[in-house]
Amino acid sequence: MQTAFKLFLCWALALFVFQASAQATMPRKGAPKHAMRDGAAKKFGKMVEIRKGKESPLTRTYTAENGTKVMTNGTVVFPDGRKEKLAEGYAINKQGNKVILEDDMIAPKEIREQKQRVTGDSERTITVTEKTRVIINDSTGRKAVRDTIRTTETK
């Protein structure tokens, strides 16, 4: 009885892990398609090349700007000679960096348009003004006071 219970528990845990991993690799139902940056990626178990926002099967070795090579079987050879298999949902961008496909390969124009759709906001500039007073006492007993103002703009 104990052995049967342990087997059932192991089977249920394995089923849960398999289900969770399957959900992690599949896109959400109804998720919008985004224009992607150039590179090579592994999607749904297949290697694809992304060029000018369009995906096509990877039929030849993809070479990035820094010399990183992506083979059709998913093997990545970095310029330092290190090799690794590209995991599902990852990509090698045009510069040769390994990135997360759905987060880092979206084109900047698409990011701005998505932000506009979701928040209704266009870009804005944030200006931060910081005032600082520094008091310096030296060994002769003199005192120097410096007031500084620093302004930082962020877009």
Q: Which helix (H) or strand (E) holds 132?
A: strand 126-137
Residues of the domain holding 80 = 39-119
Asked whether residue 71 is domain-assigned, the answer is yes
Position 135 scores a pLDDT of: 78
Asked whether residue 126 is domain-assigned, the answer is no
**Are the CB atoms for 66 and 82 separated by under 8 Å?**
no
Average pLDDT over residues 1-6: 72
For the chain, the domain total comes to: 1
Position 10 scores a pLDDT of: 67
Count Cβ atoms within 10 A of the Cβ of residue 62 and give its class: 0-12 exposed, 13-18 middle, 19 or more buried: buried
Position 111 scores a pLDDT of: 67
pLDDT tens per residue, range 43-102: 888 999 988 878 899 999 999 999 999 999 999 999 999 999 999 989 999 899 898 887
Residue 41 has pLDDT above 70, yes or no: yes
- Site of tokens 């330092």: 80
Average pLDDT over residues 3-19: 67
pLDDT tens per residue, range 90-124: 999 989 989 888 777 776 676 677 777 777 666 66
Asked whether residue 85 is domain-assigned, the answer is yes
Asked whether residue 141 is domain-assigned, the answer is no
Asked whether residue 96 is domain-assigned, the answer is yes
Q: How is the beta sheet containing 62-63 ordered, strand by strand?
A: 62-63, 69-70, 75-77, 83-85
Asked whether residue 153 is domain-assigned, the answer is no
Asked whether residue 27 is domain-assigned, the answer is no
Asked whether residue 146 is domain-assigned, the answer is no
Residue 22 has pLDDT above 60, yes or no: no
